[in-house]
Structure 1
Amino acid sequence: MNRSAVAHIPTSQYAFARSEDTFTVRLRAAKGDLDSCTLFYGDRACPESPVRFTSERMQKRYSDELFDFYEVTISPCPSRICYYFELEKEEEHIWYYADAFHQDMPDLVMDDGFVVEGRSEYYQYPYILRSEIVKAPEWFLNAVVYNIFPDSFADGKRRLTCGQKEQQAPHGTISRSRLGGTIKGIMENLDYIQELGFTCLYLNPVFQAGEYHKYDIVDYFHVDPCMGTDEDFLALTEAVHERGMHIIIDGVFNHSSWYFPPFDDVVKNGEKSPYTDWFYELSFPVKRPEEGETPGYACFAYEPKMPKLNTANPEVQEYFAKVGRYWIETFHVDGWRLDVANEVDKNFWRTFCSAVRQADPDAVLIGEVWENAQDWLKGDMFDSVMNYDFRKHCRDFFALEKTAADEFLWAMTDMQLRYPFQVTAAQLNLLDSHDVARFLGLCKDDYDRWQTAFLYLCMAPGVPSIFYGDEKKLTGIRESEYRQAMPWKQNHTDSETFVKEVLRIRKDWISPEDGWRTIHAGHKDRLLVFERFGAHTIRIIIHTGEAPADTDPFLQGGQILLLKGALSHMLTQNGFIILLMR
């Protein structure tokens, strides 16, 4: 037995409560090494001695290049749990607990028959507290998200006139628009979005700001005048909710505009300003630098127009907690996507989360964290993050064709195991956004490759999100290209129909609680076969290799729901099949 590969981490993604009476345990072992793995669990506070244990055979649920991952879910389970593992390989039989291997259990029986029990030596989950069970709002787990960059989307029904403009705003500032999209334009196209199958809007910033992207916010309590009015936005949220849909807005709290009133006060009053501790690394006198000058304050990404906020300051935390509550209570938004979340003080997010939860316990909080986000996903800050690692793996396999099918699914397996199950189910999966190249552009405008990636996006665990216009084959590598105007006048019925059909299958046959498993991942044939299983079992076959792939072994006992590129039992390049398994 390869003991060096065995791992278990208590109170982590390896041992977590899914509800008050449901508990999941995972153990890692070397790939192909163990013959069996059994979990023994009991009530750690039971009055009997020794503890009465129940055994459950663990299933090998996941594998990557190096490891197998065994998993079992106990339901119902004790509120206080102690547990250990029995590992077997051929003639070798050992117990694993306290991060060590043992030939004997920790119970010691004395000569007089008195039991001295070492129950504290077992693995422990002290108590399943309701307040510590991490789970995103149910509506979000079932959502399909349509991400709109407001300036680029619409100013009327199936229309964007692409009118660049400047408008005088409160506080004596100028608001700019590049393409002229408006709040009313979004509202007039809700039917289009809903008919495609999307259930939730995520809007990039709509607050009063200077530049067209609206990430340099001047006023956090009003809509930007180039986009419309506060009344327009309230009408939009009401129209969204009348359709049974939801709406999420973008919160930019890491930095502000250099015309944000507190920063403006620092510029005007210097060290006498009551806001000097609202910002980072101020050098007095503070001034707005000319182009090419180094600013005398910290900024977002060295952009002088966006001074960085000191989010550790309790006054700053309370101010933005008020912002968080205001947009929920006044405009009834359903949640926040939170910009540059990994650069913001974690107590800021705890304060913000508490304020939002008080306003609406069912609001969702999504952080922009591009890397592993375990620190932010423990229930006291965010429900979800934008899953850029998901995009990275899809980019390397579907678009750039840098990785093989087995390498791709190994990477995705690691992502499934990065967090507890219900946290993985809430990740906002994406192929592109306002910050990265269009996925179709990365595919060198090969729409067939985009289709296979979109299919995977919608069939994989997590909440799928697409950027406006992807369904109309928008492409582009540079910022001005991937934020281009929505091509309302172009006819892309084929791709829109494809999006509708995939989203319909997801809605009809896949649930957030469904499991995920690999059936086949070829190294040379670039054939992926995986399943989502729960109330129904859906098998997805995707082939991206040049030579046709034989799919006959994977078709037995299935009803075809969607098919492209099948020649008899062979699947052509960028072909796919979705099967409902009987």
Structure 2
Amino acid sequence: MYHYPLPEYRHADGGQLTVRLRLARDANVDQLWLRTEPDNEEQLTAMTKEQVDERWQWWSADVSLSDHEPTFLYCFKAICGDRQRWLDTTGVGPRAPKREHQFRWLLADHPPQWIHRQVFYQVFPERFRNGDQRLNVQTDAYRYHGEVATQSMPWGDDILATGDQAAFYGGDLIGVEQGIDYIQQLGATAIYLNPVFSSPSSHKYDTEDYLNVDPHFGGNAALADLCQQIHQREMKIVLDAVFNHTSETHPWFDRWQQHDNSGAYFTPSSDTRSYYYFYDQANADSYRCWKGAKTLPTLDWGNPQVQDYFCNPKSGVIQHWLNAPYHIDGWRLDVIHMLGDGPGAKNNATRMRQIRQAVKQSNANAMVLGEHFFEASRWLQGDQEDAAMNYFGFATPVRAFLAHQDVAYQPCRLDAEEFAAWLAEARNSIAFEHQLAQFNLLGSHDTARFFTLVNEHLPTMKQAVLMLMSYIGVPSIYYGDEIGLVGGNDPYCRRCFNWDETSWHHELRSWYQQTIALRHRLPALQRGAYATLYAQGDVFVFARIVEQQMLIVAINRSNQALEVNLDLSCWHHQASHIETLIGDGQLSQQQLLLSGYAATLILCQ
């Protein structure tokens, strides 16, 4: 039994949904039922055989959609003699599935359609490019955390083992604007910027002013100019939103008495004391902070004034940057799963919906992207996030399969079958529209660079890049990965971009450009359904399917040439044209020949 979230398998007309199922021509079934759950109660609708061709039989059923439920769930039930077979997102099984494994038809709150067409480029502004040296932070300009003096570092110098948060190399938004041509030449169409708002650190995750861009980045005018240039090129820009915590130097908190002495830390009667959570009101140091980091006091979102500051439909921070002259295209929400009322993440879902509403009220087509290192399906049910940074469903399993490490950099070797199961677990619990919008990445400012994790082994890095550009979801490139920039975990993953082209890994950069170009050219890589074709040992093969096109992506992790037999019944057409688009894999009939360390993409149409 085959069913995919594609128009030929399902489509809506007004309040009616038509669902189709494909079976092999010789499949023997006594009855076929479409199972739905209107008002959370089972309803079985008989399916009728509508068509039989040389290879397949097609069945369909029509059901009414409920206008008061954001997501419509369904699966398939087959009666075969005295046995049953059920089809859900995990495949065929003997019994009814859990709700989370049923197919989903979204009735509302679709992720914006532009997302899955993009290739993102993540920029850490302080380390990308110095566009105006007059803006540089000078040595001893101030003391970070009241202790560490700022250091002005020559561009490209080694990262400091300690004190990197107070080391400034001079990157700014003028430099980002100067780098747009380079980003476009690579093939990226959207830019995700790490935080840009006023902050005492180089990383800017400790915001002290949400309404002003850091002056050392060029201030608000630099961001306005950057946004204008990006939009003139029909590109997108997403900003980082750190709404869970502020800097200790934010005027609301003012730990080091740099403002008017009315901050929450020193003044229990302060108007902003209740913006934060103190475990002991008599002890100023008892404030809740992010993972014990005293530089990052956590906001109490149970306070209506905090909610209003960020979410007010006329004057809130969220709306401010979505409006003119910036018109940013979305927000990436830092550690959003930790945000909540009081001393923890209480009412997190309520606050997340509140943030989403604030974004969508200003621009219904803006992206709401959440940061999650682990499983995030509960934020991806249509009422909270459009997408999550897909560590759990992509970055971490790819790291385990190709670099043999887990998220904590501990040994973790997977075979292809285990790898496929991990990917499927993440996919199957969210709607297809959210799968297409998932923010796939190999690394970021919070992880070691992937080229470092694979010991700079180019064939393995090419496999990872091909996976990034072809797997379901939207790819994001961490600045410098494409030129072979290396570095271990934070802070070493935050080295300066080297603009000396003689230092670049040109073969790797060319591979990025080729695979990005294929992604832009081939609709199946942007919006195609997914099917695993083969997953055993060191070989992983999957397909992306849309309309008259199937793309086969094959990875051979071993150094030995291999031949595997593929079951291509996921695609109901017969290919009249087969072409290897990249790599050296060869497909003949259903036999796939792969060289050692193969990374290949094959077109069937």
2:337 to 330, 337, 342: 342
* Greater mean alpha carbon deviation, residues 445-454 or residues 239-248: 445-454
Partner AA of 1:190 in structure 2:
I
The Cα of 1:196 is off from its aligned counterpart by 0.9
1:509 to 515, 519, 522: 522
Contact preservation (8 Å) 2:36, 2:75: no
Number of the residue aligned with 1:398: 402
Number of the residue aligned with 2:319: 325
User: Any unmatched runs of 5+ in structure 2?
Assistant: 1-9, 22-27, 51-57, 67-71, 88-98, 151-165, 255-261, 341-347, 405-411, 569-574
Number of the residue aligned with 2:129: 154
1:485 partner SS: coil
TM-score under structure 1 length normalisation: 0.77
Deviations 1:308-360 (A, max 9, x none): 11012221111112010001113111100001110112322222211211111
The Cα of 1:399 is off from its aligned counterpart by 1.3
Is 2:53 the partner of 1:78?
no
Aligned length: 501
Partner AA of 2:65 in structure 1:
S
Is 2:116 the partner of 1:141?
yes
Contact preservation (8 Å) 2:20, 2:61: no
Matches of residues 411-426 of structure 1 in structure 2 within 5 Å? Answer: 411-426=422-437
Contact preservation (8 Å) 1:435, 1:479: yes
2:374 partner SS: coil
Number of the residue aligned with 2:604: 581
Question: Structure 1 pair 507/268, CA: closer, same or farther in 2 (3 Å)?
Answer: closer
User: Any unmatched runs of 5+ in structure 1?
Assistant: 1-15, 28-33, 58-71, 97-122, 288-294
Partner AA of 1:398 in structure 2:
L
Question: Structure 1 pair 340/552, CA: closer, same or farther in 2 (3 Å)?
Answer: closer
TM-score under structure 2 length normalisation: 0.74
The Cα of 1:267 is off from its aligned counterpart by 4.1
Question: Structure 1 pair 285/506, CA: closer, same or farther in 2 (3 Å)?
Answer: same
Q: Percent identity?
A: 29
The Cα of 1:266 is off from its aligned counterpart by 3.6
Contact preservation (8 Å) 1:218, 1:261: yes
What is the alpha-carbon distance in structure 2 between the residues aligned to residue 203 and residue 147 of structure 1? 6
What is the alpha-carbon distance in structure 2 between the residues aligned to residue 351 and residue 369 of structure 1? 18
What is the alpha-carbon distance in structure 2 between the residues aligned to residue 452 and residue 470 of structure 1? 14
Partner AA of 1:299 in structure 2:
C
Partner AA of 1:450 in structure 2:
M
1:305 partner SS: coil
Number of the residue aligned with 1:530: 542
1:466 partner SS: strand
Question: Structure 1 pair 85/163, CA: closer, same or farther in 2 (3 Å)?
Answer: closer
The Cα of 1:87 is off from its aligned counterpart by 3.1
* Greater mean alpha carbon deviation, residues 560-569 or residues 275-284: 560-569
Contact preservation (8 Å) 2:484, 2:504: no
What is the alpha-carbon distance in structure 1 between the residues aligned to residue 74 and residue 202 of structure 2? 56
Is 2:533 the partner of 1:546?
no
Question: Structure 1 pair 165/25, CA: closer, same or farther in 2 (3 Å)?
Answer: farther
Contact preservation (8 Å) 1:237, 1:333: yes
Matches of residues 115-514 of structure 1 in structure 2 within 5 Å? Answer: 133-156=108-131, 165=139, 178-264=168-254, 265-267=262-264, 270-285=267-282, 287=284, 295-321=285-311, 322-330=316-324, 331-345=326-340, 346=348, 347-389=350-392, 390-400=394-404, 402-489=413-500, 490-511=503-524, 512-514=526-528
What is the alpha-carbon distance in structure 2 between the residues aligned to residue 445 and residue 386 of structure 1? 24
Matches of residues 52-131 of structure 1 in structure 2 within 5 Å? Answer: 53-55=46-48, 77-80=63-66, 86-89=77-80, 91-92=82-83
Partner AA of 1:236 in structure 2:
L
What is the alpha-carbon distance in structure 2 between the residues aligned to residue 529 and residue 160 of structure 1? 52
The Cα of 1:452 is off from its aligned counterpart by 0.1
Deviations 1:503-526 (A, max 9, x none): 111111134431111111122xx1
Contact preservation (8 Å) 2:373, 2:389: yes
Task: Please give the root-mean-square deviation of Cα atoms over the aligned residues, in Å.
Answer: 3.9
The Cα of 1:261 is off from its aligned counterpart by 1.3
Number of the residue aligned with 1:521: 535
Question: Structure 1 pair 428/17, CA: closer, same or farther in 2 (3 Å)?
Answer: farther
Contact preservation (8 Å) 2:323, 2:362: yes
